Amino acid sequence: MEEDFKNLTLEFTDDGAIAIITMNRPKALNALNSETLQELGAALEACLEPPETMALIITGGGEKAFIAGADISEFKGIETAFEGREAALGGQDAMSSIAAMPIPTIAAINGFALGGGLELALACDLRVASPNAKMGLPEVGLGLIPGYGGTQRLPRLIGEARALDLILTARHVGAEEALSMGLVNRVADNALLEAEQLARSIIKNAPVALGLAKEAVRRGLTGTLNDGLELEADLFGLVSSSKDMKEGVAAFLEKRKPVFQGE
């Protein structure tokens, strides 16, 4: 199953379990313009339509870039603070839609992931990079700041000091340095293949538990530790009433593989 858009492609693995969105503006190094952001929102909704879809991978088309950033040519027309704020909110909405996906999301970073491209990768749950990947937030060199969530998601991921290093210097980091600072989870020669294998290792687990585990982590980071622990207990109670939990416990005690139904 495959669905085409102008600036990206949505396809599914043969079993339908994994959706793959490929950003497809290779001549522009897959830069994010307003049209692409709108298509991305539609693709995110479409990938959830098949009930068998359990994970999403986002990658870049071509050999050079994952996503080289936002389309800077569109910024030329911004003249007022209001217009700039609206542009940032539009990008943030797209990234927040990725972060809010109920299924695990993985960025397969196969080249340049700069500015809005890195911000999109940060909105995913996990990141796999190819050895030639280059990542960074170069906005201050253009007289801007990251506006699609980079100033907020990056320090939450790698810490304030490391995030400020990348944001204030506008430097690019390679895959190995990104791995060492926790910016990416894995480095592999074939980022997309590794992302698929990672997705497979995740989706063998209970779908209900996966969704609630994501929710616990994401929502827990916005409050105090005690708030997070209370949230964890609530969600633990919720998942304890699922059919998947009963199947998982029964399978463990019976020494067999569980057959989860997502219920």
Q: Which residue in the list 39, 119, 194, 196 is annotated as catalytic? A: 119
Sheet of 2-4: strands edge to edge?
2-4, 8-12, 18-23, 55-60, 105-109, 126-129, 186-187
Bridge pairing between strands 18-23 and 8-12? antiparallel
Q: What is the DSSP letter of 32?
A: B
Q: Which residue in the list 2, 49, 139, 176 is annotated as catalytic? A: 139
Helix/strand/coil (H/E/C) assignment for every residue in 34-72:
HHHHHHHHHHHHHHCCCCCCCEEEEEECCCCEEECCECH
Catalytic annotation on 139? yes
Cα–Cα dist 1/14, whole Å: 8
Cα–Cα dist 216/237, whole Å: 12
Contact 231, 216 (CB under 8 A): yes
Catalytic annotation on 230? no
What is the set of active-site residues? 119, 139
